[in-house]
Amino acid sequence: MTKYLITIGLETHVQLKTNTKMFCGCSLKFGAEPNTNVCPVCLGYPGALPVMNREAVKFTVMSGLMLGCAINRHSTFDRKNYFYPDMSKDYQISQNTHPLCLGGGVTVQTPQGAKRVRINHIHLEEDAAKINHYARFSGVDFNRCGTPLMEIVSEPDLSSPDEAMAYLQALKQILVYAGVSECNLEEGNMRSDVNISVRPEGQEQLGTKVEIKNMNTFKGIYAALEYEIARQIGTVMRGGVIVQETRRWDPDLGETQSMRSKENAHDYRYFPEPDLVPVALDEALVAEWRAALPELPAARRERMVAEYGIPEYDAGVLADAKENADFFEAAARACAPGLGKTVSNWFMTEIMRLLSESGKTVHACALTPAALAELVTLVDRRVINGPTAKELLPELFRDGGMPEALVKARGLGQVSDAGALVAFVDQVLAENAKSVADYQAGKKAAAGFLVGQVMKLSKGKADPQLVGKLVAEKLAALG
Amino acid sequence: MDVSKITMVEAAEGLRTKAFSSVELTQAVLDAIEAKDGELNAYLSVDAAGALRQAGAADAARRSGQAGDLLGVPVAVKDLINVEGQPCTCASKMLEGYTSAYDATVSAKLRAAGAVFAGRTNMDEFAMGSSTEGSAFKVTRNPHDLTRVPGGSSGGSAAAVAGGEAIAALGTDTGGSIRQPASFCGCVGLKPSYGRVSRYGVTAYASSLDQVGPMTRTVEDAAVLLQALAGCDPRDGTTLNAPVPDYRAALRGGLKGLRIGLPKEYYIDGTDREVMACVRKAVDACAAAGAEIVEVSLPHTEYAIAVYYIVATAEASANLARFDGVRFGHRTAQPESVFALYAKSRAEGFGTEVKRRIILGTYVLSSGYYDAYYGRAQKVRTLVRRDYAEAFKQCDVMMTPVAPTPAYKIGEASDDPLKMYLGDIFTVPANLAGLCGISVPCGKTAAGLPVGLQVLGPAFGEGAILRAAYGVEQEVGA
């Protein structure tokens, strides 16, 4: 049976987290009442003119630098003309001929090993408004209109839906690290169109490409790619011909549908935007932005290993998500030197578990790095013991607060007074003659049981290390 | 006070010396409009109550110690410049009933200076035309001969100033729309260099060519009004970030020693003999007053009209896309689809010339035609700009006719767009090259029609053209 090769390229739109819109001073706060963050400029009123948002240019250039792109020292904007109710001016200000960033790429991990996905270019443009459909009419919400939108156009270097996912994850990680976007998919911060073609193995020339739009989630992209691959291979195998066209993903039906064919493709009539002067970026400015670039995940992993003495594996897991690494480092830095490893252990086990159980991110939970640092410090100073700390953590995670205050308020401090504990030890040894005998017969594990019984008797508040020492001493004395 | 003759400078002086109040002055202007506009049709709308309110506020401000060249002076505004709360129809059915939501930067500057917004002047629809016959609402008449056009597209402003219905007015100039009507009506009209005056809030026709400028009764008034309008605007990224010189001071430079260039491509057959005679007489008077006359050459002049009608229409095709019936302006009744909403609203809302230019602009940007038209036009535009840069090495200003003819009869050219386009031959290059230019009256034909002299200066050379025009006004002024 013929094997088919798949070729995928992605156009990824990323909303930048600037303070204001691309060409006016309107706020970008998500979730505002419709048509409240608007002005003559983003509503396209007669006579209104765009003014360049320098922060958006900076964020795009920073993204380009992190992705290894060349930065165009002289960049221009163009008008892309088309009529649609979501465009207030009926043209979009975009970049067609001289985008801010050229080239570059992302390394992604695939089952076959690391793979370089090349980037063709990154350009800056304005987002359109959002159209909401109701039973009897449609409404346009211009709050989103004019949001700075960075478009990252990949080369057709991807050969499976899994690679496409790996590429998007890698991109998202870098952009979040760069601090240029939240990449929040629910809020539509990151949206991709895909170009896909199939061809029988052995054929040099790429198959006819089809563009798919309207996938709002990574899952949607994956499903659309899987559907489209099957559709295209099926068509070719039945002797059919793939038509160059734009298709729309219908998430409810789980299928792609034809939107428009090549013959009906828009002629966007691009021409240079006369209302904006070219963006000139001198060496010094680009150098300044380059110097301000945040650390990338790989570099951070290595630094965290060296700085906190944590295992390579832990560092890798933490560095994967910037917010986790930020949380860990903030907590570790708030502790005495040498406790980094302990903080990492807490994060890797207890906190990761709480995160996955609650489905929350560290930003969304009530636990603060300072609270975790205090908890670790309390255990280190033997003010409380480990089990008490483990009991407190879910509460701190859910409700917030500081552990030391809770410990004081509830009298959870551990008993480290040997005099008070000796009585417990004596009692336990007296009540567990069999275990004592087992120990004396060589079953050293029986000591652990006895320690546990002492802890129980102390309602968990005894210092386990001290108890261990006292039990060992008593058993030796009985010896 | 005679508002049909009074200059802005005289009006300001009268207000300062309390010879009359702003309310009295404004009322006199409103009375003149009432008396004459039935004939001239210079205004599309007049806000008498609003104007008198502003005038009262200006009088109060003056009593409390404020002063200024524009405080309490009524100014007419071309109907495509936004003044918050006033209509802004652009002389189009598309924007009939539209009320401006905000002030253009020039309006805000005039408002801050205490000027009074008397009314909105007629124009060719969306500033596309050279006779004001393209207005969707009325035909403005030339005050010197009511059977003739006032020129355009700022014909309403020119007719109002020349016809005694406004002391001063704002116009816009994309290819000659201030200078040519000033010439036809016998007033002063100055097109600033591209980037000298903010375009924010000025309904765009061709963004890389449009400029707002003063239309006045004297060169000195033009200097005063330009002073109030000019300067960098953070809302318009194409404005020049540089200090604005003192234009009134520049007037006094005199003609002596001024190097006046006569571009030979502008002194050609085909220009009306009487027009050319007036222009020659003005140039001779300048020479007699001590100016040095040099012949210069602008070899790409013959391509300017073609380049202009490609660049301007291309930009217009995008600029006018927003008039789609969705958010404001005319919307067709009961459209059966979104496409029909667009097609019908625009078909009903736009006039013939506007449609012609949108279609032309759409065509020259289309896939497969871009390089041959728009791309090539941009290259030739660079050559035109270079021509001027070279020529201005040999002279301080240039003097040329404004238009090949004096005002023509209403209806004479309106059915022949190409003929009308060719009337822009002397004014269009300054817009393509981003230069400044002024039209100053330099005589009349035997039939009593005014003729304007065009003084062109290098980009941001407003001081030089004001100096030269002031000199001409002193030497040959009526």
Question: What residue segments make up the domains of chain B, in order of their start?
Answer: 8-249, 251-298+390-476, 305-372
User: Is B360 at the interface with chain A, CB within 8 A?
Assistant: no
Question: What are the backbone angles phi and psi of residue A50, rounded to the nearest 5°?
Answer: -80, 145
Interface test with A, best of B88, B90, B327, B334 (most A CBs within 10 A): B327
Cβ-contact A271, B374 below 8 angstroms: yes
Check CB contact of A46 with chain B, cutoff 8 Å.
Answer: yes
Kindly report, residue by residue over A276-327, the tens digit of the pLDDT. Answer: 999 999 999 999 999 989 888 888 988 999 999 999 899 989 998 889 999 9
Q: How far is CA A475 from CA A446, A467, B122, in A?
A: 11, 12, 109
For A271, the closest of B324, B327, B374 (CB atoms) is: B374
Q: Is B321 part of the contact surface with chain A (CB cutoff 8 Å)?
A: yes
Q: What is the mean pLDDT of residues A6-13?
A: 97
Helix (H, G, I), strand (E, B) or coil at A445: coil
Q: Compute the distance between CA of residue A389 and CA of residue B457 in angstroms, rounded to an integer.
A: 81
CATH class of B8-249: alpha beta
Mean of pLDDT values over B326-343: 95
The confidence score (pLDDT) of residue A209 equals 94
Average pLDDT over residues B311-330: 97
Residue of B nearest to A48 (CA): B201
Residue A333 has pLDDT above 80, yes or no: yes
Q: Compute the nearest-CA separation of A46 from chain B (Å).
A: 5
3-state secondary structure chain B: CCCCCCCHHHHHHHHHCCCCCHHHHHHHHHHHHHHHHHHHCCEEEECHHHHHHHHHHHHHHHHCCCCCCCCCCEEEEECCECCCCCECCCCCHHHCCCECCCCCHHHHHHHHCCCEEEEEECCCHHHCCCCCCCCCCCCCCECCECCECCCCCCHHHHHHHHCCCCCCEEEEECCCCCHHHHHHHCCEEEECCCCCECCCCECCCCCCCCEEEEEECCHHHHHHHHHHHECCECCECCCCCCCCCCHHHHHHHCCCCCEEEEEHHHCCCCCCHHHHHHHHHHHHHHHHCCCEEEEECCCCHHHHHHHHHHHHHHHHHHHHHHCCCCCCCCCCCCCCCHHHHHHHHHHHHCCHHHHHHHHHHHHHHCCCCCHHHHHHHHHHHHHHHHHHHHHCCCCCEEEEECCCCCCCECCCCCCCHHHHHHCCCCCHHHHHHCCEEEEEEEEECCCCCEEEEEEEECCCCHHHHHHHHHHHHHHHCC
CB A414 within 8 A of CB A463: yes
Cβ–Cβ below 8 Å for A43 and B327: yes
Q: What CATH number matches the domain at A418-478, 1.10.10.410, 1.10.1660.10, 1.10.10.10, 1.20.1250.20?
A: 1.10.10.410
Q: How confident is the model at residue A439 (pLDDT cuts 50, 70, 90)?
A: confident
Give the Å distances, CA to CA, from B181 to A236, B88, B445: 67, 20, 16
The closest of B119, B153, B122 to B136, measured between CA atoms, is B122
- Tokens representing residue B410 in the block: 């209403």
- The contacts of residue A356 (CB under 8 Å, 6+ apart) are none
Nearest partner of B222 among B461, B470, B426, judged by Cα: B470
B369-398 mean pLDDT: 97
| pLDDT exceeds 90 at position B53 | yes
Q: Between chains, do A46 and B95 touch, taking CB under 8 Å as contact? A: yes
Q: Tell whether the model's pLDDT for residue A419 goes beyond 70.
A: yes
Q: Residue A48 and residue B199: Cβ atoms within 8 Å?
A: no
- Å between B441 CA and nearest CA of chain A: 31
Q: Are B462 and B226 in contact (CB under 8 A)?
A: yes
pLDDT score of A364: 87
Predicted TM-score (pTM) of this structure? 0.87
Read off the pLDDT band of A109 (50, 70, 90).
confident
% of residues, chain A, pLDDT over 90: 67
Q: What is the mean pLDDT of residues A433-445?
A: 85
Nearest CB to B321: which of A91, A140, A270?
Answer: A91
- Asked if the C-beta of B382 comes within 8 angstroms of chain A's C-beta atoms, the answer is no
Tell me which residue in A48, A89, A271 faces B314 most closely, judged by beta carbons: A271
Can you read off the two tokens belonging to residue A262? 């090549």
- State the pLDDT at residue A437: 86
What value does the mean pLDDT take over residues B26-39? 98
Query: What pLDDT does residue A299 have?
Result: 86
**Cis peptide, bond prior to residue B153, ω within 30 of zero:** yes
Confidence at residue B180, expressed as pLDDT on a 0 to 100 scale? 98
Mean pLDDT of B201-228: 98
Overall average pLDDT of the B24-35 stretch: 98
Average pLDDT across chain A, whole number: 92
Residue A267 has pLDDT above 70, yes or no: yes
Q: What is residue B390's predicted lDDT score, i.e. its pLDDT?
A: 97
Q: What are the tens digits of pLDDT across the range A182-225?
A: 998 888 899 999 999 999 999 999 999 999 998 989 999 999 99
Say if B314 is an interface residue toward chain A (CB within 8 Å): yes
Work out the pLDDT band at B477, boundaries 50, 70, 90: confident
The CA-based angle A101-A102-A107, given to 5 degrees, is 100
Q: What's the CA gap between A104 and B226, in Å, rounded? A: 50
The verdict on A81 touching B (C-beta cutoff 8 Å) is yes
The whole-angstrom separation of Cα B219 and Cα A349 is 82
The percent of residues above 90 in pLDDT, for chain B, comes to 96
Indicate yes or no: CB of A89 within 8 angstroms of CB of B322. yes
Answer yes or no: is pLDDT of B312 > 60: yes
Q: Are B71 and B64 in contact (CB under 8 A)?
A: no
Round to whole Å and give the CA distance between A54 and A25. Answer: 12
Q: CA–CA separation, B88 vs B107, rounded Å? A: 12
Per-residue confidence band for A128, with pLDDT thresholds at 50, 70 and 90 = very high
Residue A479: predicted pLDDT: 65
Kindly compute the dihedral angle of the four CA atoms of residues B105, B108, B109, B115, in this order, to the nearest 10 degrees. 140
> How would you class A113 by CB atoms within 10 Å of its CB: exposed for 0-12, middle for 13-18, buried for 19 or more?
exposed
Min Cα–Cα distance to chain B from A39, Å = 10
Model confidence pLDDT, tens digit, residues B115-139:
999 999 999 999 999 999 999 999 9
B86/B99 Cα distance (integer angstroms):
5
Instruction: Give the burial class of A312: count Cβ atoms within 10 A of its Cβ; 0-12 exposed, 13-18 middle, 19 or more buried.
Output: exposed
Q: What does the pLDDT average to over B373-392? A: 97
Residue B478 has pLDDT above 70, yes or no: no
Whole-number average pLDDT of chain B: 96
Q: What is the pLDDT at residue A329?
A: 95
- The answer, for A280 touching chain B at a CB cutoff of 8 Å, is no
pLDDT band of B400, cuts 50, 70, 90: very high
Report phi then psi at A154, rounded to 5. Answer: -85, 160
A80 close to B (CB below 8 A): no
| Beta pairing partners, B173 | B211
* Paired residues of B33 in beta bridges: none
**Interface contact B322-A46, CB threshold 8 A:** yes
Q: Token pair for residue B121? A: 């002047």
3-class DSSP state for residue A455? helix
The confidence score (pLDDT) of residue A383 equals: 84
Residue boundaries of the structural domains of chain A: 4-285, 297-410, 418-478
Question: Which residue of A43, A47, A277 is in closest CB contact with B82?
Answer: A47
pLDDT tens digits for A132-174? 999 998 999 999 999 999 999 999 999 999 999 999 999 999 9
